[in-house]
Each structure stands twice: as structure tokens, then as C-alpha cells.
Amino acid sequence: MRAGLIAQGAVLPIIGWFVFMIGYNNVQDYQTTLGVIGRYLSSEAQQKYQMYQLMEAGGGILALVGLVLVAAGLVGHEKHTSKTVKRRVIARGGQRAVRCPVCGCALDITTQSEGKCPECKTPIEVVYEG
């Protein structure tokens, strides 16, 4: 669900950007002296001009909404993964026990070198130093 939201959010600004650029480039063309005369003389040109203005505005909004979705998705994703990240505990040479960084209980590193704290269930990774 969350990954799908991010994927959708990533596609929206790309589509939005393309639509915006097509609209923007054509609106620029229609705003030249020749374009203004063309719109004055042809109602079809005037309709196209309005359509490109819509594309410019709609594409811009689509790109912005997509970017907001991506940002929201990434923030949510980060919050989600930070809970499951392993807590590193540094054990110096000759040390047999370390303190759990979350609840402070003693962990026997000869048996608890990899895995969870028996008290608070926090995933622990013991890093040996020295």
C-alpha cells in the first residue's frame, strides 16, 4: 500500500511535468505577435490556446500533488523503518556482557551476540571492538 503510494507519487509529477511543458511551450507560441493574430483570426486557434492553458495549469497542479505525495510517502516510509532498525551495541575486547541501549538490562554477549533483547524485544547487533 505504502510502496504503491510512492510509485503513484513518482509517476504523477513526471506526467504532470510533461503535460505542463507541452501546455507551457504552446502557450508561449500563442502569446507571440503571430500567435495573438492567429487567435484573433481563428476560433480554432483560440480553443487550442485555452486547451494548452488548461494543460499548463493542470500539469503544474498534478506535478505539485505528486511531489507532495512522494514527500509524504518517503516520510511515512522512514518512520516505518526506523522502528525496526537494529540497535548497535559496542563490546570491547574481553567484555562478556553489554547493556541494552533501550531498557538497560544486561545482555550476555556469549549467547546474545545476535538477536533480540530478552526484556524489551529490541533487535540488538553487537559490534566487537579492540
CB of 95 to Zn ion, least distance (A): 17
Joined together, the cell numbers standing for residue 87 give 540497535
Q: Which is nearer to Zn ion, 2 or 99 (CB)?
A: 99
Query: What are the Cα distances from residue 93, in Å, to 86, 101, 106, 122, 129?
Result: 21, 19, 17, 23, 6
Nearer to Zn ion among residue 89 and residue 100 (C-beta): 100
What is the rounded CA–CA span in Å between residue 71 and residue 3? 13
Least separation in angstroms between CB 92 and Zn ion? 20
Residue nearer to Zn ion on the CB measure, 48 or 116 = 116
CA distance 120 to 62: 45
**Interacting residues with Zn ion (CB under 5 A):** 100, 102-103, 117, 119-120
Question: Cα–Cα–Cα angle for 117, 81, 116, nearest 5°?
Answer: 10
Report in angstroms how near the CB of residue 78 gets to Zn ion at its nearest.
23
In whole angstroms, how close is the CB of 89 to Zn ion at the nearest point? 10
Name the residue nearer to Zn ion (CB basis): 12 or 100.
100
